Amino acid sequence: NAGVTQTPKFQVLKTGQSMTLQCAQDMNHNSMYWYRQDPGMGLRLIYYSASEGTTDKGEVPNGYNVSRLNKREFSLRLESAAPSQTSVYFCASSATFGANVLTFGAGSRLTVL
Amino acid sequence: KNQVEQSPQSLIILEGKNCTLQCNYTVSPFSNLRWYKQDTGRGPVSLTIMTFSENTKSNGRYTATLDADTKQSSLHITASQLSDSASYICVVSRYTGNQFYFGTGTSLTVIP
């Protein structure tokens, strides 16, 4: 059982470059989320998709865009990367929106120089 | 303001010893509280969930407690093992708004 799969695991970008983080889940979950994790801070919600076809901003959406490609896939795009976006990014999913258990991917470590 | 605070920030214990991690929250209205374990380089994995009516719940060597009146939870680890070395994150859900509130975590290191 793969659960939540994220790619790439590591990425180094230069300021101004763009990239897309990919996420896929195989649990038939309706809701998907993107979080970032920075030292000394709790996980912060960037964007979420409560169900296929919908996306909404979370706590820290600036500089990011998302696409819920289908029920399985939810991508996060950085259009013009900035050093402040250096972080570890986690994709998560839940059976329904606000369901009390999140299943997380292994994370994507992004460094912006 | 809805917040979740964890203590201590980090902890080092000898293998075989017990330890207790704390979580205080101000999230309201409270729905449930979940403890996650995050191994280095991995995503968080759920350990246990506490609802309003539950005081204690065990999962193997992990025992979580909840005092909804004082808005405090603890995670007690018994007979620690090297594999317990990880970050433990407390996550509180609101009854309305479908939001999760994350603590900053306690980093536990178990040494031989």
| 3-class DSSP string for chain A | CCCEEEECCEEEECCCCCEEEEEEECCCCCEEEEEEECCCCCCEEEEEECCCCCCEECCCCCCEEEEECCCCEEEEEECCCCHHHCEEEEEEEECCCCCCCCEECCCEEEEEC
Tokens 């897309």 locate to A20
Write the pLDDT tens digit of every residue in B68-78: 999 999 999 99
CB A33 within 8 A of CB B99: no
Q: Do B42 and A106 touch (CB under 8 A)?
A: yes
How far off is chain A from B23, nearest CA to CA, in Å? 13
Tokens 């912006």 locate to A112
Write the pLDDT tens digit of every residue in B32-62: 899 999 999 999 999 998 888 889 999 999 9
Give B-chain residues touching A92 at CB under 8 angstroms.
Answer: 43
Is pLDDT of A110 > 70? yes
Tokens 């594999």 locate to B83
In order of A6, A12, A66, B82, the CA distances from A83 in angstroms are: 21, 11, 20, 35
